[in-house]
Structure formats: structure tokens, C-alpha cells
Amino acid sequence: MSVNGSAGSGPPEDGADLLDAVETFVSRFVSFPSPGALVAFVLWVAHTHAVQLFDSSPRLALLSPEPGSGKTRALEVAELVVPRPMHVLSASPAAIFRSIEAQRPTLLFDEVDAIFGRHGKGDDGSEDLRALLNAGHRAGATIPRCHGPAHDVRMFPVYGAAALAGLGDLPDTLMSRAVVIRMRRRAPGEKVEPFRRRLAAPAGFALAARLDRWAEQVTDELHEAWPTMPEGVTDRPADVWEALLAIADAAGGPWPARARTACVDLCKVNVSREASLGVRLLTDLRAVFDDRDRMSTEAVLSALHDLEEAPWSDLRGRPIDARGLARRLTQYGIGSAKVRVGEASVRGYRREDLWDAWQRYCAPTPEEAEQAEQPPQPQQAQASAVPFDLACSGTVPEQDHHPEHDRPCQSGDVPDVPDVPDSEHPEGVDPDEDPPDDVPEWKLDLAPEPERPTEADLARWEAIDLTGPEGEAA
């Protein structure tokens, strides 16, 4: 892990101070749309110096709707602080394969909208690049290619860091593997320094060398890192942000908290981008159904056509029809069925058939989001016969005062009570011995009747004085 293959030397680096210095350097020349975007850019730059220590390397996507938004400038500044930068403008896929194998460069793609073409589709070369970028975010990834005059199959390693800048969006497969920063033109009040490479290069190269040294210092920590993800960041977004959060945790200071705030903010931005036409259809159907259990196909189509700012009344020159609706919903496992509307039985759609797709593909409604954010209410504990916990308190609480308990205890003679035989083990029967074979089984369950008191016992009990000294009953 060194810049241009040469190991750095010098005093130990403080990670937080070093990232602060990189942030200051970058912000001199580039205006980012939010503080979180700048934090993500700095962490991505730092991770390129330790990319071989991570299981995956996120793509950095600098995208904007219009030119002149600072995308190319951000790549020019990144070139000064990342290891072995390689600008990719017109390089062939074969050249990139061999460059990754020989040098492990940091790829910097500019004008990717021209590479992938409209809707992310292009020629065979662009498809090869897309395959390289998709697979190359995972450590150990290779792509087979024929090599040499004998067309021997050779596995080319493709893992490495890559940043991409362009207009519009990237193909969905790349967007899901990228930290997406939506660049925008600077407002009149946003000022940055003019960028002159020959003037900025010495400071940038010095920071790159310091990043190399620091990455070597924290090699073991980064290799064993399992950063804690913010709540709600799972699956692919967690893969994307794992390396950046590990860098922030190793740097310490305010960076772990800043990194997680940036993670949550940028993940929201990526999720909120324009949904596919299929997801848009599911979302609009949820609004159309409202609280209905079923709707006829005719009613569904009429409601979709009436939605303002929706594409269904003019979809490629004509409104969506029953066949187009069925075709688009089939890919989500949804089909029409016979439904009863009023007194008629017609073809239509049922809420229960759409519910699963709504839960999987549509963003939560405001009511669902509000309910998810509320903490669960603790359940009321059931009434217990013991109103306190001796193990927790260590003391017995004072009992409520009852006046009737203040009366003095009275003493008296208690009459003898005749013994009551043990109903489970009658006299003469040893409970540990097996019963004799000649005793019927039904007799084993019978207990002898208790002995009744005699007339002499009753007379003796009546003669006993059961009253206290004041004539009160004891």
C-alpha cells in the first residue's frame, strides 16, 4: 500500500488530523452539495490506499443533471491524493484488464454517460466495462477472457477502486454498488479557489504519501474491522459503506459519527432517485386502491389515466391498456382474477395479490414510516402476588397499617385433634415397596375413612372454656 509503488516513511500519523487535512485540501477546489458528500469523498480517497484490505470497494459516482457541476474537477483533485491514478477516457476493456493485473490502479472514469449510452446500453465494449465495474467491487473477483493466438482462457483480476463521473444516472447495477453524490452547479455565493494542477500537485502528493503511511499503521485494525452500521443500512448499502466506515473508525475523533451521518443521508438520496416504471406503477396502484379490497380492470385503468404527472395516460404515445397493465404486473407475480363488483363478476385485481409487491418494492407511506419510527410500547406486567422484588431492592418495604392487627393475641387451650391417616400411604403399607400381587388394583387407590370422634370426645371439648379473660372469644 504505497503511492506509485514506493513505501513512505516518517513519523506516525494521527488519522483524524490527516482526514481533516484531506478535507481542507479538497474543499479548496470543489463545492459539494452537502457536508455528508464531502465526508464521503474524503473517506473514499482514504480507502483507496488500503483497498486490498477490504472485502469490497465502493464505486464513487459523481453525477449531475447538467454539465459544469464540478464532477471533472473532483476527479482532477482525486488524482492528486489517490494511489496510482489512471484516467479512463477511451481505453479499451482489454487495456484496463491488463492495467489492473499489473498495477492495481485507481480508475477514474469521466463522461461515463458517453460510455454507457442512453439508458445504460451501449456496444460490446461498454458492456465489458460494465461487467468489469460490477464484478470489480468485490475482492478476488476475476473475469475470464481468451488470451493469445491459441485463445487460451485466462482469468483476469478486476478488483480495485473506481470513481465515475457523468450526466444522468448509471446503470442500476452500478448505482447499487456506488456511493452516489449528486453534484450541482455552484450558487453565486459559493466560492472555491481556481484549480491549477502544477500548483496544487505538491500538496496533494504530500497528503497521498501521508495516507500511505497511515494505512500501513492501521493495517491490522482495518483488516479485522467490522464497523457498526447505522440503523436501517443493510444488504447492499452496508457492503458499499463498510470500507468507508472502517476508515472513519480507525481515524477516530469526530470521523466515526460524521461518517455514519453521511452514510444515512447519502443512502436516502440514492433511494429517493427516480424509480423504475414498474415500481412507479406499483406505487400508483397503491394510491388508486386506497382502502378498497378489489377493483375491476376498467376502474384501475381509468384511475391510472386520471393521475396527474403520471405517465399512464401517455405511455409512448398511447395510454396504458389492460394488456400492458397485465404484462407489467406479471413480472412481480401479480395477475388479474375474477372479482365481484356490485352485482357483476368481472376481471380485476385484488388488494391481497398486490400487497406483497407493495411491501417489497414501494417506499413506506408517511403513516407507515411514522409508525416504524415510534418506539415499541412496553407491555404492562401482569399483577403478581408479590408486590416487590427482594433480589433487586434488598429490603422489605413497609406494609400498609391495618388497625385490626393492633389487638393483642389471646392465648387458649387448643383441643387435641385426632390423627388423620395418610391417604396416600395407608398404615402398614410401605410406600417404597411394590404392592402384593393379590391386592386388586382398584383397592390401591382407596384411602381408609378417618376415625370419627366418640361421645366422650365431644363432651370433653364442650367443657373446655374457649373465652378470654374479658369474655371475648379467643
Contacts of 393-398 spanning 24+ positions with Cβ under 8 A: none
Query: Residue 120 in contact with residue 175, Cβ under 8 Å?
Result: no
Q: What is the dihedral of CA 15, 20, 23, 28, to 10 degrees?
A: -140
So what's the pLDDT on residue 457?
76
Distance CA 92, CA 10 (A): 39
Quick one: cell of 95?
487495456
Quick one: cell of 259?
461518517
So what's the pLDDT on residue 354?
94
Q: Which residue has the cell 414501494?
A: 362
The pLDDT averaged over each successive group of 10 residues in the chain (474 residues) is 49 92 97 95 97 95 92 96 89 83 91 69 68 90 84 88 91 90 90 94 96 95 92 90 96 96 87 72 93 93 92 89 93 92 91 92 73 55 43 48 53 55 53 54 51 75 59 46
**What three-state secondary structure class fits 64?**
strand
Query: Residue 110 in contact with residue 72, Cβ under 8 Å?
Result: yes
Distance CA 146, CA 152 (A): 5
Q: Which residue has the cell 453524490?
A: 181
Distance CA 191, CA 29 (A): 9
Instruction: DSSP letter for 406, please.
Output: G
Helix H segments across 1-118? 15-29, 35-47, 71-81, 93-103, 112-116
Distance CA 25, CA 204 (A): 8
Helix H segments across 59-167? 71-81, 93-103, 112-116, 124-135
Query: Residue 158 in contact with residue 93, Cβ under 8 Å?
Result: no
Written as one string, the DSSP assignment of 355-394 is: HHHHHHHSPPPHHHHHHHHSPPPPPPPPP-SS-S-HHHH-
Query: Residue 420 in contact with residue 450, Cβ under 8 Å?
Result: yes
Amino acid at 161: A
Closest to 250 (Cα-Cα) out of 461, 10, 43: 43
Q: What is the dihedral of CA 422, 425, 429, 435, to 10 degrees?
A: 160
So what's the pLDDT on residue 392?
44
So what's the pLDDT on residue 48?
97
Q: Outline where DSSP puts E strands in 243-379.
A: 294-296, 337-341, 344-350
Query: Residue 424 in contact with residue 446, Cβ under 8 Å?
Result: no
Distance CA 286, CA 361 (A): 11
Query: Residue 64 in contact with residue 167, Cβ under 8 Å?
Result: yes
Q: How many residues does the chain have?
A: 474
Query: Residue 128 in contact with residue 136, Cβ under 8 Å?
Result: no
